[in-house]
Amino acid sequence: MTNSGWQAALGVVCAGVLASSIPAAAQSGQPGGGGGGVGAPFKAPVISDTASLGGPRQPIFFRHDVHAGQDRIPCLYCHYTVAVSSEPGIPALQTCIGCHQIIGGSAPSHQVEIQKVRKAWSDRQPPQWIRIHALPGFVRFPHQRHIKVLGTNACAMCHGQVDTMAQVSQVSTLRMGWCVSCHAERKVTQDCTVCHY
């Protein structure tokens, strides 16, 4: 099992919760599955100026550099449908609360944001996350086909080093030329009808 590292990092209390709640698909994910996170321990920085961060401001300041980087929670723990569905999906609050009914946060800035997670849960008002990557409706992008061939650690190829991002922003253009050049490089079909309905 490859989870021991990041579970140990989160401590025994949390490990109990995690072991029982990890979706099967996530268990094959590598720690720091976005690439680059494996190796030297990563310490997420303290951020006082959020205005300078890339990407949209989300309703809760959820940090990938804390979860996926510092605490090494595998990408697939939260985005567990990535390998089986054309939509990786954003995790339900249920996934968060498994840890956050116990973890209240160390720094005061963390405590404030985690409080929002708990309130959203008790009010049954899931956060309205702002979608960042979005292709036009006439394009077909089967996410799972890519993961199957490129691997569960391939996230960084298209999304950049999400595990060091405090706030997610789009790093690839997602333009047709970007898709087609990788398909050409990897000898994947470039038929118009494969990507266009």
Cβ 32 to ligand HEC, closest distance in Å? 7
* 188 counts as binding ligand HEC under rule CB under 6 A: yes
Q: In angstroms, what is the minimal distance from the CB of 151 to ligand HEC?
A: 8
In the region spanning residues 78 to 117, those forming contacts with ligand HEC, defined by CB under 6 A, are: 78-79, 82, 87-91, 95-96, 98-100, 103, 105-107, 110, 113-114, 117
Q: Does 53 bind ligand HEC (CB under 6 A)?
A: no
Q: To which residue do tokens 């939260």 refer?
A: 78
> Is residue 18 near ligand HEC by the rule CB under 6 A?
yes
Q: Report the residue from 15, 23, 133, 171 that binds ligand HEC according to the rule CB under 6 A.
A: 133
d(CA 172, CA 159): 7
CA distance 180 to 1: 36
SS (H, E, C) 55-119: CCCCCCCCCHHHHHHHCCCCHHHHCCCCCCCCCCCCCCHHHHHHHHCCCCCCCHHHHHHHHHHHH
Q: Which residue from 11, 178, 160 is spatially nearest to 99, judged by alpha carbons?
A: 11
| Residues 6+ positions from 186 with CB-CB distance below 8 Å | none
Residue in 126, 144, 171, 183 binding ligand HEC, rule: CB under 6 A? 183
Q: Is 26 in the site for ligand HEC (CB under 6 A)?
A: no
How near is the Cβ of 9 to ligand HEC at its closest, in Å?
8
**Residue 124 or 131 having the CB closest to ligand HEC:** 131
Task: Show contacts with ligand HEC in window 138-157 (CB under 6 A).
Answer: 139-143, 145-147, 149-150, 152, 154-155, 157
Q: Is 182 in the site for ligand HEC (CB under 6 A)?
A: yes
- Please state, as a whole number, how many other Cβ atoms lie within 10 Å of the Cβ of residue 179: 20
